[in-house]
């Protein structure tokens, strides 16, 4: 049998959905008729449509359409190169240059440069536009096409030609591809002498190992309590969620339960915890999703952590990967995740034909949510996502500051590029504890104006303090690193400050919960 026949047979099998036991002959006949209908349409399109379309393309298009009609944002049909990119995102190591790229207003730009990579060591910065890869112009290329061209064997050379805001001449950068390590824990440090602070960026294949090392590091420095920052963490591997939870929960404890068409599967802690008693606060927000919600839900259900922030994203479905013919991979939603005490993590969304994802139930805060209990009887809320024990919004901006940022939004790429440029112009002239002065603000605003950005003087006078913080923090990050920037500006982090205040007055997890009950929060 040819590969084309196998592909067609596989597609028809997907369309002919499995029948439950006892299905009638009428149902079977109906399924066969629908398969014939598809075959008739397929034959007419392949032989009579005005333009010639290859059979391979038709089969691929039909398979993609089938998945698209599920209206499931999390089910995908990947080509070989698309799956490679997806797989790299789940791995801590890959061969490349250490950059994230995305479509910009005039082409493909560098969205982020990871530290200690070929890109960072050769001066590539956020906001650079990639105009050429080796001798190939990237005009009209997609981000995927450039990504495919950038990846290659470790040690092989590659030259990127970049256009940088404020510099008229193209910049050619010669690099060598190498194994890039993307840290899941970029840094960890101790606050107020006894509070360990650890951000976890994603649940890649090294998440639990890096987190365990970070916990050991801060406790050796004297930390007697811990803040685990999962804000913005999009999740990742299910097993890593179980392993991360296992660092803090007793052996045998349930972390999450998966419900699929065949029943339920519980994932339990299989080893003793490394920190069974240390008081923990978990910080979350609307971008905390997937595996990070599993960890948050498990620690909250079992009274192992106080959760502070805003309700999480609500990505509580599991996908399986199915290898298909000709290098294609199907990522299909096959199960839903529930916290140990029965809360559904998922918030239903549908994928519209225009590519937008819309929530089917946009309930926020706690109004109308089902009520659950933690192991000790604390009140918890279901209804999708994880509702924090203390809802604390991050917004510390004034209305004038928000208005200024909104006014700058149309020039976002220029704004980012000029922050980068200004930071590098100050290299060697600043110390980590520098103050962003009025003179520095004026110099930065002038750079924006020199590049066509319109800034209203009266609005700048009223809301310009937001530039002092955002530009100052970006300069600190570029010149002195993420850890230094986080330490320096943590006073502006309302959620983190609430966590620090509660931990300073608590000796254990029980007293931490008690202290939280007396806090006036943003819950409504």
Catalytic residue positions, numbered: 290, 301, 315
> Alpha helix locations (H) across 188-246?
207-220, 238-246
d(CA 185, CA 214): 8
> Alpha helix locations (H) across 291-382?
291-301
What dihedral angle (degrees, nearest 10) is formed by the CA atoms of 430, 431, 436, 440?
0
Structure-token match 């991050």, residue found: 394
Exposure b/e, 113-140, CB count within 10 A at least 16 = b:
bbeebbbeeeebbbbbbbbbbeeeebee
Beta bridge partners of 197: 189, 227
| Length, in residues, of the chain | 524
Q: Which helix (H) or strand (E) holds 413?
A: helix 412-425
Helices and strands (H, E) in the chain, number of each type: 17, 23
> Alpha helix locations (H) across 161-287?
207-220, 238-246
d(CA 491, CA 507): 23
d(CA 118, CA 155): 11
d(CA 190, CA 184): 18
Report the alpha-carbon angle 100-106-111, nearest 5.
15
d(CA 412, CA 405): 9
Calculate helix-pair angle for 412-425, 465-480, nearest 10 degrees.
Answer: 60
Asked whether the beta carbons of 283 and 240 are under 8 A apart, the reply is: no
Q: Strands, DSSP E only, in 296-408?
A: 306-309, 317-323, 329-338, 349-351, 357-359, 371-373, 379-381, 390-391
């Amino acid at each position: 049998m040819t590969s084309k026949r196998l592909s067609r047979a596989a597609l028809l099998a997907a369309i002919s959905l499995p029948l439950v036991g006892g299905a009638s002959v009428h149902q079977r006949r109906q399924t066969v008729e629908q398969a014939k209908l598809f075959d008739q349409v397929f034959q007419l399109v392949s032989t009579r449509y005005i333009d010639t379309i290859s059979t391979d393309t038709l089969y691929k298009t039909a398979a993609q359409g089938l998945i698209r009609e599920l209206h499931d944002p999390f089910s995908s049909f990947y080509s070989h190169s698309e799956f490679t990119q997806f797989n790299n995102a789940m791995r801590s190591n890959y061969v490349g240059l250490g950059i994230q790229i995305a479509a910009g207003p005039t082409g493909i730009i560098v969205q982020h440069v990871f530290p200690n990579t070929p890109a960072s060591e050769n001066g590539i910065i956020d906001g650079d536009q990639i105009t050429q890869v080796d001798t190939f112009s990237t005009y009209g290329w997609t981000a995927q096409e450039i990504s495919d061209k950038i990846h290659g064997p470790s040690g092989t050379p590659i030259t990127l030609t970049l256009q940088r805001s404020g510099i008229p001449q193209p910049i050619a950068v010669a690099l060598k591809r190498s194994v890039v390590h993307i840290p899941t824990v970029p840094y960890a440090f101790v606050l107020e002498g006894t509070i360990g602070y650890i951000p976890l960026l994603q649940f890649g294949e090294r998440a639990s190992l890096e987190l365990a090392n970070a916990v050991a590091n801060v406790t050796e420095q004297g930390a007697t309590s811990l803040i685990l920052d999962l804000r913005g963490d999009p999740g990742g591997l299910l097993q890593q969620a179980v392993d991360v939870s296992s660092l803090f929960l007793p052996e045998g404890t349930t972390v999450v339960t998966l419900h699929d068409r065949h029943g339920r599967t519980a994932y339990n802690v299989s080893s003793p915890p490394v920190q069974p008693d240390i008081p923990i606060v978990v910080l979350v927000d609307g971008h905390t999703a997937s595996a990070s919600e599993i960890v948050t839900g498990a620690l909250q259900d079992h009274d192992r952590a106080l959760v502070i922030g805003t309700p999480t994203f609500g990505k509580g479905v599991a996908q399986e990967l199915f290898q298909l013919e000709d290098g294609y991979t199907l990522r299909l939603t096959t199960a839903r995740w529930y916290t140990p005490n029965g809360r559904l993590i998922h918030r239903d969304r549908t994928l519209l034909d225009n590519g937008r994802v819309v929530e089917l139930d946009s309930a926020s805060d706690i109004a109308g949510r089902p009520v659950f209990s933690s192991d000790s009887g604390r009140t918890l809320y279901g209804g999708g996502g994880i509702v924090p024990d203390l809802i604390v919004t991050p917004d510390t901006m004034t209305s004038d500051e928000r208005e200024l940022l909104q006014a700058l939004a149309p020039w976002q790429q220029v704004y980012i590029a000029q922050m980068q440029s200004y930071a590098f112009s100050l290299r060697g002239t600043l110390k980590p504890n520098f103050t962003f002065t009025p003179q520095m603000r004026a110099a930065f605003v002038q750079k924006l104006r020199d590049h066509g950005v319109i800034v209203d003087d009266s609005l700048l006078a009223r809301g310009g303090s937001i530039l002092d913080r955002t530009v100052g923090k970006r300069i600190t990050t570029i010149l002195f690193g993420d850890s230094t920037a986080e330490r320096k500006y943590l006073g502006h982090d309302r959620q983190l400050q609430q966590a620090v205040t509660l931990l300073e007055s608590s000796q254990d997890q029980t007293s931490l919960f008690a202290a939280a009950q007396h806090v006036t929060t943003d819950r409504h």
